[in-house]
Amino acid sequence: MELGRRERKKQQTRQAISDVATTLFLERGFDAVTVAEVARAADVAVQTVFNHFPAKEDLFFDEPGWWTGPARAIREAPPKADPVDVLEAEYLKGTRERLEVGHLKTWKQFVRTIESSPALLARRRLTADELEKSLTEALDERSPDHLRNRLIAALYAAAQKVLEEQLMSALPDDASPDELENAQAALEQAIGQVFAVLRRGLA
């Protein structure tokens, strides 16, 4: 369904604010940048920023796919699909999209910005908890085995953490295009290994 002109304009404004905020946060650190500075740099009113992003942390974590995607993938998968296969495919898709849109190039800076901000660390922990909860709920809709479903969700969250740490170690600072491709290849190999361990543990 094609968006109307008004809705397209709202999305364009939201994206412009997000792009400006991300640039400022990565350059100066999350805690050093105010919402008012983001508004000035984006040439909008402060209230306009809050209309699109209820909290400052939402300006940084503005792509909910990494924590809403797993539950959505489970709900959209065929009834007999193996949940671990579905989650592996979803995670792999997300990493490839990150490479395609250029986010992998700034990934280390993005993570370091989180690690240097207590507010962002707290939001990341909260979001990780929400990921596990929403994923468990989606799995419960497919199977009555809540304990197993809870374990799958917890293991997926742990796997995600391990793989992001692996990417940080494999990705050079100021990586060239070839180095980005190599880091992606190494990550995909690690994804296969991690999810293979999950399958054995759940067998």
Boundary of a domain, candidates 15, 41, 60: 60
User: Residues 20, 39: one domain?
Assistant: yes
Return the structure tokens found at 138: 């989606």
CA distance 163 to 167: 6
What pLDDT is stored for residue 2 in this prediction?
56
CA distance 107 to 58: 18
Q: How many domains is the chain built from?
A: 2
- Mean of all residue pLDDT scores within the chain: 92
Per-residue pLDDT of 116-150, as tens digits, reads 999 999 999 999 999 999 999 999 999 999 999 99
End-to-end CA distance of the chain: 42
User: Residues 51, 83: one domain?
Assistant: no
What pLDDT is stored for residue 5 in this prediction?
77
Per-residue pLDDT of 1-44, as tens digits, reads 456 777 888 889 999 999 999 999 999 999 999 999 999 999 99
Residue 65 reports pLDDT greater than 70 = no
- HSE-up of 126 (CA within 13 Å, CB side)? 10
CA distance 165 to 185: 15
Residue 106: domain span: 68-202
User: Residues 44, 100: one domain?
Assistant: no
Q: Which amino acid is at 115?
A: E
User: Residues 49, 142: one domain?
Assistant: no
pTM: 0.87
- In this prediction, residues 51-72 reach a mean pLDDT of 88
User: Residues 114, 184: one domain?
Assistant: yes
User: Residues 73, 97: one domain?
Assistant: yes
CA distance 144 to 137: 11
CA distance 5 to 176: 39
Decide: 190 and 163 in contact? Cβ < 8 Å.
yes
In this structure, what CATH number is given to the domain that contains residue 165? 1.10.357
User: Residues 33, 80: one domain?
Assistant: no
Task: Give φ, ψ of 130 to 5 degrees.
Answer: -65, -35
CA distance 73 to 138: 9
Contacting residues for 157 by C-beta, under 8 A, at least 6 apart: 128, 131, 132, 135
User: Residues 9, 83: one domain?
Assistant: no
Rg (CA), the chain: 19
- In this prediction, residues 90-111 reach a mean pLDDT of 91
